Amino acid sequence: MKLTLLLTFLVVVAFGKSFSQESNLTFNFRNANIREVLKAVEQSTDYVFIYKDDLFDYSKKYSLNIENKNIYDVLEQICAETGVAYDIRDHQVILREREAPPQQSTQPQERKVSGVVLDSNGEPIPGVNVRVVGTTTGTITDTNGNFSINVPSKTRMLQFSFVGMKTKEVDITGKNMLNVVLEDSAVSLNEIVAVGYGIQKKRDLTGSIVSVNMGSVENSKVKDVMSALQGRAAGVQVVSNSGAPGDGITVTVRGQSSLNSGNSPLYVIDGVPVETNSLSQLNGWNSHGLNPLADINPSDIQSIEVLKDAASTSIYGARAANGVILITTKRGQAGKAKVSINASMGYSKITRFLSVLNATQWRQVVTDAYRNLDYYNGATTPTEPSWTVVDSLSPRNNGDVDWQNVMYRTAKQSQVDFSVAGGSKNSKYAFSTSVLDQDGIFLASNYKRITSRLNTDFTVSDKMKIGQSVSYTHGVNNRINAGGTGNNSLVVAILVRPPTYSLTFPDGSPINYFFGKRNPVALAEEVTHLNTTNRIIGNQYLEYELLKGLKFRANLSLDFINMKEDEFYPTTVDYRAGYNRGAVRSTNNLTWANDDYLTYTKSFNDVHHLSAMAGFSTQEWKTEVTGLDGMYFASDNIHTLNGAGTISNQAVNVTYGHSLASYFGRLTYDYKSKYLFEANFRADGSSRFGKDNRFGYFPSASAAWRFSDEPFVKDLNFFDDGKLRFSVGQTGNEAIGNYTSQGEFAIGTNYLDNSGASPTVMPNSALHWETTTQYDAGMDLTMLNNRVSFIGDVYVKNTSNLLFAVPIPETTGFNYITKNIGEIQNKGLELSLTTYNFVKAFKWNTSFNISFNRNKVVSLPEDILTNGFIQNGSYHILKEGEPIGVFYGWKSMGVYSRDEDNVDHVRMGSSNGKEFKGGDVIWEDLNGDHIIDDSDRQIIGDAQPKFTGGLNNELSYKNFSLNVFFQFSYGNDIYSNLNFMRNWVNSYNNVSTDALNRWREQGDVTNYPKPTRGDPMRNTNRVSDRWIEDGSYIRLKNVNLAYDFPNAITDKLKISGLRLYVTGQNLVTWTHYTGYDPEVSSYSGLRLGIDDGAYPQSRTFIMGLNVKF
């Protein structure tokens, strides 16, 4: 309350002062030189003067009397006295020679335009390309930045471009003399990047931060924020869990750092920590939920910064162990309103079909399975297959269908983005809205999204600034139950459904259920999986300068999500007459935060630069879930629960939340920007831990040495900039259950007619934070006149006190207790290289990044291990010395060609088990006891890639531009549960064409075992390396070709810009993986590399038109 009153008081005072002071200035100069005059103005305002050293006669003295005038009147008087002209860009005043009046041309067809090109420091730039827009006529500046060019008399625009600088177009109407100032581009070291609670110059960073400028992916039309990061940021691995519109994405920064407590980074959008965990309650058989970041329109984003090392992330403390991703949206700039309309449309198709048997082949393999079962049982009378196999005359059973052709389609999509931005010196705005309509490649799947955003900034007075960012998203996702291996999972269902099963009866009516198999068309088109989301993300700030260099800033932010989910299975997809079922869930999730902090900056003699920041933060999360399930609805046309005959599952109605209170601070110092130091500290108190361990403390320190400023390096004339960085620090992880330390109870344990509750989670008040300690050493280089830039980092990242659900005896009444155990280590190398290969009329630049990470479980307590490891789900184990994500199972050595090849009489399961015979898999007998059982299991694969990265090329010539982007991953294994399902002759499943090479008779040499009904020797149905495949790939991720129409056309249309572009996404993937796509679902941070039949990725082509006014 006191803080609110203070803020209100400051606002009232500032508003009162703003209209009385309005930056009026008074000076009285007597015999002063121009340097003294300009320095006095700089000290009294926020403006900085930029000019060439030879612009003035410094021996000349000036006497000026300026009384109570604003900055513009002051500048006019100074320029009138000195005979120069000025331009204002933000708070930079650029002084230049006064232009001569236009001269009458003696040759009306051509005129000469001359001038000088300067950088933002007033230094001349040699080698700048100067070109008449829309033509090939051009020249370059000389060593002093001067140029002279003859242009047609009616020429209106000149374009100035130079590597490392933003290309600029200048209107030369009525001008023969120009002074052009080029601004640093994104590759410049003077680029401003976002950091925790502030901004810094890129050249002064002491931590490891990678910045992705959205300009490079502007026309790629990615549908979600994280797809823009994929392959473009070293040390960041982005995996699309599914190709379905709006579905989940997994992001890890520098490897997995936790066992049970989450491995996702913290996301902050315009200062708002946002919810990124899936809130979806009705996921069917999918192993993941929806992607909350799909609510953000990528076209609204200006840049993305990924904070990787502890020096950069520790300012966020408890939530930063897995990195921090800062997303900055576009804001308005002073000037005329700029309007942009970007409309696109396209289509998508599945990238590949998987092989399946036709009707004849399937009938034969099922018949073989019956014959092999008879041989196994020693039967003398052959077993007859089911009539559904042999009867080809039944209308239900006379098809020959590849269900992939039935279920996958050419999907259309369209998107329209509208934005307008502009403002004045004291008020700036940026407004955007977007409409997306995207069909999925699976029948009936669709995603619609409407987003709208307004960012405003106001300079209330010379001391106060206020502003806001608010966005609204309405999304409707018509999902299908695609992933997983359940009976209703469509990706698997269409691969294993027998080809003989007909789609319809002869009269055209559908066959919805037949012999244990549901019709996949009905599951897609008649089943409802509807998700409707409304989301508001908002932030308001107030910034007040208390003293010169000392500012106070208050941020108040919220992230509110309302999600409604409807599910309904009609009677047509069930074998039970009259049986239908439905469910509804409504989830409200509110996150709010308040940050208040002071910043202080001070320079001493222009060589010592000091800044400090200290603040306090509070954040609270609250989630409410309501819903019910129903069965036996009165009609398939009534989906609301008031039509259900039976209501159940009241237990889903819950409310939960937690809160965080924090103190944080930062101190930075540099000497001549050559020696740099930074220290951060944060203390977080979380309601998730007991009172004795509620607070965690997370410090960091970093230092950098700009060796390129040393004389012995300057003399080399090779480096433009070179810097060494070192950092160490700690971050934390609190991602456990909200009430785990206190213990939890479940409602519903009733006694007679009285409601009751029973304990379900054992309390542990001794729980405390996971702590990640990270060491980082890095080098930043730019050379060859900024044409080559390099960033390299090596790091070691140790996480201790891991929060893990430890199994305990069931006699305690519980299954597990959460404890702090063990340690994980990640260490790695990250390299990024950007080169400007050609910089003249033909331009070509290349960006390359590659990351190597080695993950290892360092220690686990002996008392929780079984046989030296922890079984982690069905496919993985956790073991000391091994990485997270290793697969554990049996190793196959081939297939017995004949019965007598089993010379050791190896048996199945026990000494009394059946001997393996011809056609059975040869399993490695690890302990040599001639029995294949659990003791023969071993590590059979590793889901961790050896390296990942990306390669981007941007080329342009005249009005054409081309962007080609490759993404790659190498060395990771995939456990293809999908391929297991499509090679298991179970319940008359169809199988892949690999079965055509199966073992059929004694003496056959093959790696594909004989099919046996029920698989009694478990040749197929076991976790084995038969389903391990190399998941390495290189993907042509994106190709974008654009054409900017020349000014001759845009002038006639009275617009400022017109761009036509075509984009291709996921065009080609080179891989040995035999599933749909090597980029597979990851379940969680621990269970990596599982292909459970996720919604396939698609190949997409888009055409668009961008019009600017």
Residues 151, 269, single domain; the answer is: no
> Which is more confident, 347 or 277?
347
Q: Are strands 92-97 and 84-89 parallel, antiparallel or unpaired?
A: antiparallel
Residues 175, 299, single domain; the answer is: no
- Res. 1015: pLDDT tops 90: yes
* Predicted local distance difference test score (pLDDT) of residue 1085: 61
* Predicted local distance difference test score (pLDDT) of residue 106: 44
Confidence label for 909 from pLDDT (cuts 50, 70 and 90): very high
* Predicted local distance difference test score (pLDDT) of residue 1084: 60
Q: Are strands 513-514 and 517-518 parallel, antiparallel or unpaired?
A: antiparallel
* Predicted local distance difference test score (pLDDT) of residue 784: 85
Residues present in the chain in total: 1109
Residues 134, 192, single domain; the answer is: no
* Predicted local distance difference test score (pLDDT) of residue 278: 77
Residues 39, 157, single domain; the answer is: no
Summarised one tens digit per residue, pLDDT across range 1071-1087 is 999 999 998 865 566 77
Residues 167, 316, single domain; the answer is: no
Summarised one tens digit per residue, pLDDT across range 780-830 is 999 888 889 999 999 999 999 988 888 888 788 888 888 888 899 999 999
Buried b / exposed e across 89-114, counting CB within 10 Å, b at 16+? Answer: eeebbbbbeeeeeeeeeeeeeebebe
The CATH number for 83's domain is 3.55.50.30
Which residues form the domain of 166?
A: 110-181
The CATH number for 884's domain is 2.40.170.20
The mean per-residue pLDDT over the stretch 151-156 comes to 83
Q: Is residue 932 part of a domain?
A: no
- Res. 136: pLDDT tops 70: no
Q: Answer whether 441's CB lies under 8 Å from 447's CB.
A: no
- Res. 183: pLDDT tops 80: no
Summarised one tens digit per residue, pLDDT across range 186-217 is 445 556 777 888 888 777 888 888 888 776 66
Summarised one tens digit per residue, pLDDT across range 603-629 is 888 889 999 999 999 999 999 999 999
Which of 97, 126, 150 is the endpoint of a domain? Answer: 97
C-beta pairs of 810-814 under 8 Å, 24+ apart in sequence: 812/762, 813/759, 814/759, 814/760, 814/761, 814/762
Residues 470, 556, single domain; the answer is: yes
Distance of alpha carbon 707 from alpha carbon 101, whole angstroms: 48
The mean per-residue pLDDT over the stretch 559-570 comes to 93
Confidence label for 91 from pLDDT (cuts 50, 70 and 90): low
Q: Look at 148-162, 956-970, 1027-1041 and tell me which has the smallest mean pLDDT.
A: 148-162
* Predicted local distance difference test score (pLDDT) of residue 9: 33
Residues 201, 159, single domain; the answer is: no
The mean per-residue pLDDT over the stretch 361-377 comes to 93
> Which is more confident, 46 or 678?
678
- Res. 53: pLDDT tops 80: no
Q: Mean pLDDT, the chain, as a whole number? A: 86
Q: Answer whether 153's CB lies under 8 Å from 109's CB.
A: yes
Residues 643, 781, single domain; the answer is: yes
* Predicted local distance difference test score (pLDDT) of residue 108: 47
Which of 97, 130, 159 is the endpoint of a domain? Answer: 97
Q: Is residue 725 part of a domain?
A: yes
The CATH number for 173's domain is 2.60.40.4130
The mean per-residue pLDDT over the stretch 37-54 comes to 76
Q: Is residue 191 part of a domain?
A: yes
Q: Is residue 922 part of a domain?
A: no
Buried b / exposed e across 531-552, counting CB within 10 Å, b at 16+? Answer: bbbebebbbbbbbbbeeeeebb
* Predicted local distance difference test score (pLDDT) of residue 1041: 94
Residues 537, 656, single domain; the answer is: yes
**CA distance between the termini of the chain:** 46
Q: Is residue 366 part of a domain?
A: no
* Predicted local distance difference test score (pLDDT) of residue 705: 95
**Tally of domains within the chain:** 3
Confidence label for 10 from pLDDT (cuts 50, 70 and 90): very low
The mean per-residue pLDDT over the stretch 357-377 comes to 93
Q: Look at 13-17, 236-240, 331-335, 496-500 and tell me which has the smallest mean pLDDT.
A: 13-17
Summarised one tens digit per residue, pLDDT across range 632-677 is 999 999 999 898 999 988 888 999 999 999 999 999 999 988 999 9
Q: Is residue 959 part of a domain?
A: yes
Summarised one tens digit per residue, pLDDT across range 476-524 is 999 888 776 666 688 888 998 899 998 888 888 888 887 778 888 888 8
- Res. 103: pLDDT tops 70: no
Residues 577, 647, single domain; the answer is: yes
Which of 147, 181, 215 is the endpoint of a domain? Answer: 181
Shortest CA distance to 676 belongs to which of 204, 14, 191?
204
Residue 53 Rama label (left phi>0; alpha psi -120 to 50; beta) = alpha
Confidence label for 777 from pLDDT (cuts 50, 70 and 90): very high
* Predicted local distance difference test score (pLDDT) of residue 756: 81
Q: Is residue 614 part of a domain?
A: yes
Distance of alpha carbon 522 from alpha carbon 571, whole angstroms: 11
Distance of alpha carbon 438 from alpha carbon 244, whole angstroms: 10
Residues 211, 192, single domain; the answer is: yes
> Which is more confident, 581 or 24?
581
The whole-model pTM stands at 0.82
Residues 717, 840, single domain; the answer is: yes
Q: Is residue 821 part of a domain?
A: yes
Collapsing DSSP to helix, strand or coil, 388 comes out as helix
Buried b / exposed e across 356-386, counting CB within 10 Å, b at 16+? Answer: bbebebbbebbbbbbbbbeebeeeeeeeebe
Q: Look at 278-292, 391-405, 909-923, 958-972 and tell me which has the smallest mean pLDDT.
A: 278-292
